[in-house]
Amino acid sequence: MSRSDNDFQTGFNMILKTFQRYANSGNGGCANRLERSEMKKLLEEQFKGYLERSKDASVDDLFDKFDEDNSDSVDFVEFLNIVAKLAADADILSQIK
């Protein structure tokens, strides 16, 4: 198997590990879900450039937008929706080489 055959799996594993690291970083709450404070930390550390360019989108707004079932936490499926929507942002796409 050539290196490129594993690119998706490698990238997906990184997304999953990043999600798990932040989802498990807070005090209390669920280890498999991002509570609001964990989500805030993840966005500020991992999507800093995006937040700086998106003055309309506060972290709280983004959290409410992506917590689709209003459970006050973001699960992995909801998180993947965030990643997909951020990736669809033209600014982000133009930075991917």
CB 50 within 8 A of CB 86: yes
Closest separation in Å from C-beta 54 to Ca ion: 21
E strands, the chain, in order = 34-35, 73-74
Q: Does 20 bind Ca ion (CB under 5 A)?
A: no
Is 71 a binding residue for Ca ion by CB under 5 A? The answer is yes
Q: Which of residues 31-70 bind Ca ion (CB under 5 A)?
A: 35, 67, 69
**Contact positions toward Ca ion, by CB under 5 A?**
23, 26, 29, 35, 67, 69, 71
